Amino acid sequence: MFVLRQCLTLGTKSSVRNFAAATNLVNVKINEDTGVVIMELNKPPVNSLNYELLEAMHRTLVKLENERCSGMILTSSSPNTFSAGLDLLEMYKPTVDKARKFWGMLQNTWIKLYSAPYPTVAAINGHSPAGGCLLAMSCEYRIMVPKKKIGLNETQLGIVAPQWFQDCMKNIIGSRQAEKALIAGTLFSSEEAAKIGLIDELATDKEDLMKKAHDFMDEQLGLPPLARSTVKIGFRKDTLNRLINSREVDTKYFIDFIFQPKVQESLEMYLQALKKK
């Protein structure tokens, strides 16, 4: 398998097909021999998750259900950032309809990614705060380049990581560590994240990152797929059902929360600080 993959990546046998996407917000390539898909987020400069990017991801995940997808590696085309998390402009002075549509698409995308039956790896090639961390945590395995930041930092911005974001973290690093990290809104360095198990492996550089992601994929492809996915979904179903059974309430929390004047003030100040950087 390793030799086959090397041949493919070195281009001696080109069986990698671009996956026709309706937008260029995600680049999707499928290796027709192995069925492994690379989904690269491509919304410069920092892959902030707005409605359009989430919709492109969601559409891809739906499409993959009908393709011979054996596994998916999620990464980013940005040189420095995996994803900057939710697009703050979606939460700053939106209309109720726009905010509702945005949140619904975030929920849709997360449900698809978290419940994907095939193996999923986050190849985290840059910073991954808040919603970026959620995407990474929704994959089964996380590998990260050195000296970047990852975590659910919402508290530091005066907002709150929703229950399902929190559940994902708890499932990975345990309740005590998650409680501390969520209350403080900690952004961990890649090295710290590896120590507490928020990421599974540290890569030395981007090349090593993709090699390690393919290595993990090769291991998983050696397992009986039905048994593999049944165990995966068994572990994830409580977290999934908690959101699926309360989507409307979760949306109402979001809307009520972001329309508070204090929250809008915090968002405005944070956006200004980011622009001034």
Ligand X SMILES: CCCCCCCCCCC/C=C/C(=O)SCCNC(=O)CCNC(=O)[C@H](O)C(C)(C)COP(=O)(O)OP(=O)(O)OC[C@H]1O[C@@H](n2cnc3c(N)ncnc32)[C@H](O)[C@@H]1OP(=O)(O)O
Contact 199, 139 (CB under 8 A): no
Q: Which is nearer to ligand X, 127 or 236 (CB)?
A: 127
Residue linked to tokens 């996956």: 19
Cβ–Cβ < 8 Å for 67, 30: yes
Return the half-sphere exposure (C-beta side, CA atoms, 13 A cut-off) of residue 236: 22
Cβ-closest position to ligand X: 85
User: Would you count residue 249 as binding ligand X (CB under 6 A)?
Assistant: no
Does residue 185 touch ligand X according to CB under 6 A? no
Check residue 160 for interaction with ligand X (CB under 6 A): yes
Active-site residue, from 42, 126, 153, 198: 153
Please, which of residues 133-152 interact with ligand X by CB under 6 A? Answer: none
Three-class DSSP category at 36: strand
Query: Measured from the CB of residue 26, what is the shortest distance to ligand X in angstroms?
Result: 17
Contact between 80 and ligand X per CB under 6 A: yes
Applying CB under 6 A, the span of 54-62, 155-163, 216-224, 237-245 interacting with ligand X comes to 155-163
DSSP 127: B
Given 71, 131, 132, 185, the catalytic residue: 131
Pick the closer one to ligand X by CB: 15 or 260: 260
**Is 24 an active-site residue?**
no
Q: Is 87 in the site for ligand X (CB under 6 A)?
A: yes
- Residue 152 beta carbon to ligand X: minimum distance, rounded to whole angstroms: 8
- E strands, the chain, are 16-18, 26-31, 36-41, 71-76, 120-124, 128-129, 141-144, 149-151, 188-189, 201-202
From the list 154, 182, 187, 198, the catalytic residue is 154
Q: Can you list the pairs that 103-106 forms with residues at least 24 positions away whose Cβ atoms lie under 8 Å? A: 103/250, 103/251, 103/254, 103/255, 104/247, 104/251, 105/51, 105/54, 105/55, 105/58, 106/49, 106/54, 106/131
* Secondary structure of residue 33 in the 3-state scheme: coil
275 forms part of the interface with ligand X (CB under 6 A): yes
According to the binding rule CB under 6 A, does residue 176 interact with ligand X?
A: no
DSSP state of 150: E
Q: Under the criterion CB under 6 A, does residue 131 sit at the interface with ligand X?
A: yes
Size of the residue set binding ligand X (CB under 6 A): 29
Confirm whether 61 is a catalytic residue.
Answer: no
C-alpha span between 137 and 171 (Å, rounded): 9
Which one of the spans 17-25, 168-176, 197-205, 253-261 is the region binding ligand X (CB under 6 A)? Answer: 253-261
Minimum CB distance to ligand X, residue 163 (Å): 7
Q: Please state, in angstroms and rounded to a whole number, the distance separating the CA atoms of residues 185 and 223.
A: 37
**131 noted as active-site residue:** yes
Site residues (vs ligand X, CB under 6 A): 45-46, 48, 80-81, 84-89, 127, 129-131, 153-154, 157, 159-162, 253-254, 257-258, 274-275, 277
Residues recognised as catalytic = 86, 131, 153-154
